[in-house]
Amino acid sequence: MTAGRHFLQIPGPSNVPDRILRAMDYPTMDHRGPAFADVGRKALEGMKAVFKTESRVVIYPSSGTGAWEAALVNTLSPGDSVLMFETGHFATLWKGLAEKLGLNPVFIEGDWRSGADADAIEARLREDAGHEIKAVCVVHNETSTGAVSPIHDVRRAMDAAKHPALLMVDTISSLASVDFRHDEWGVDVTVSGSQKGLMLPPGLSFNAISEKAIKASEAAGLKRSYWSWDEMEGPNKTGYFPYTPATNLLYGLNEALDMLLHEEGLENVFARHKRHGEAARAAVEAWGLDVLCKVPEHRSPVLTAVMMPEGHSADNFRAVTLRHYDMSLGNGLSKVADRVFRIGHLGDFNDLMLCGTLSGVEMGLRDAGVPHKAGGVQAAMEVLGRKFDGARAAA
């Protein structure tokens, strides 16, 4: 037996707060009964506020992969071209899903060290004089690399190219942690999941849908049933679902919405994540290691992906850290397997939890024999302390 609580510092699923676990403990109710309408309406309306949209939100009992599929099958037809940008592992998986559905992904290659390049997207759209490309799909926060794509710049690029394609954005690891504005940024379909910034277990996924996307769905030719927005529309208007919803996860979602919207407030949540990202990267710099995302303005508030020195195994370091300190860190995926480890700092997370996490990393680096300098935790503490500098000066 290991004393104390396990540190789950992967970039999702994130730690589930005790109060959300308690909310999910409530007995399952009749999802056709009158009391359930209040549960469903609160979840659907609350998610509109999180997405920052006045349009529709659909909630599925599924992982985020289901919401990827729903975004595509509700709006597109077999053989349609979709423009996608290779920001990392998850952008590549979304491309693979599109291919399996019979779509034609046009993939802009990236180096896995930055977010999507809006200029490259604009240039490719300008080449598409016949408007064969029907959608542009971008991952907002690439979980495999710790890079955020500037979605507002992507929308400006699409407008500059005068291209009518739909804009679809994956916010599975950024929603409720990184500022995102579905309506203001002109996004047509936003995809997300429950297990990261929303602080829930895996099992819920979401589509936020613009009027343009709803219009496109009327002519879309891909087959859909379980994922159909049309099937959801009627029941959702009164707080219900066309099939059995994940009732207890909805209890937890409504508790999370209270925490995010009515207690801490989304802007404060975003600021907290930004501080923690800055502090984590200060630690990495002090250790003498490199952050995988090489564009500073693209670096994620949600996680930090750290490159290992040449000749050293990230997986061995992670195994040593888990064995000695009972802390799980994210592994490197596909192209960066065994070359990168990822520190998750998202969801229900505070300064002391970050300092404990970075202490575990620093001790794990030492124990695994990874070349580094000491003092990363102290560097992070100095960043975290800036929050109180003004208060100290005023006192």
Q: Helices 376-385 & 266-287, crossing angle to 10 degrees?
A: 150
Whether 392 has a pLDDT exceeding 90, the answer reads: no
Q: How confident is the model at residue 389 (pLDDT cuts 50, 70, 90)?
A: low
pLDDT at position 387: 76
> Does 41 appear as a known binding residue?
no
Secondary structure, 3-state, 197-254: CCCCCCCCEEEEECHHHHHHHCCCCCCCCCCCHHHHHHHHCCCCCCCCCCHHHHHHHH
pLDDT tens figures, 116-128: 999 999 999 999 9
Q: How confident is the model at residue 302 (pLDDT cuts 50, 70, 90)?
A: very high
**Mean per-residue pLDDT, 328-345:** 98
What are the strands of the beta sheet with 56-60, ordered from one edge? 56-60, 205-209, 189-193, 166-170, 133-139, 81-85, 104-108
Burial 202-222, CB ≥16 within 10 A → b, else e: ebbbbbbbbebbbebbeebeb
Q: Helices 89-100 & 64-73, crossing angle to 10 degrees?
A: 50
Fold of the 7-13+265-390 domain? Aspartate Aminotransferase, domain 1 (3.90.1150)
Contact by Cβ (8 Å): 12, 195: yes
- State whether CATH 2.60.40.10 applies to domain 19-262: no
Q: How confident is the model at residue 388 (pLDDT cuts 50, 70, 90)?
A: low
Per domain, the residue ranges of the chain are 7-13+265-390, 19-262
**Mean per-residue pLDDT, 377-393:** 81
Where is 379: in which H helix or E strand?
Answer: helix 376-385
pLDDT at position 2: 81
pLDDT at position 71: 98
168's CB contacts (< 8 A; 6+ apart) are 71, 72, 75, 135, 136, 137, 138, 187, 188, 189, 190, 191
Token reading at 196: 């990261």
| Average of per-residue pLDDT values in the chain | 97
Contact by Cβ (8 Å): 189, 75: yes
Query: What one-character-per-residue DSSP string does 38-107 give?
Result: HHHHHHHHHHHHHHT-SSEEEEESS-HHHHHHHHHHTT--TT-EEEEE--SHHHHHHHHHHHHTT-EEEE
pLDDT tens figures, 57-101: 999 999 999 999 999 999 999 999 999 999 999 999 999 999 999
pLDDT tens figures, 10-56: 999 999 999 999 999 999 999 999 999 999 999 999 999 999 999 99
Q: How confident is the model at residue 209 (pLDDT cuts 50, 70, 90)?
A: very high
Whether 390 has a pLDDT exceeding 60, the answer reads: no
**Mean per-residue pLDDT, 334-341:** 98
Q: Is 299 left (phi over 0), alpha (psi -120 to 50) or beta?
A: beta
How long, in residues, is the chain?
395
Token reading at 364: 């794990």
Residue percentage of the chain with pLDDT more than 70: 98
Q: What is the pTM of this model?
A: 0.96
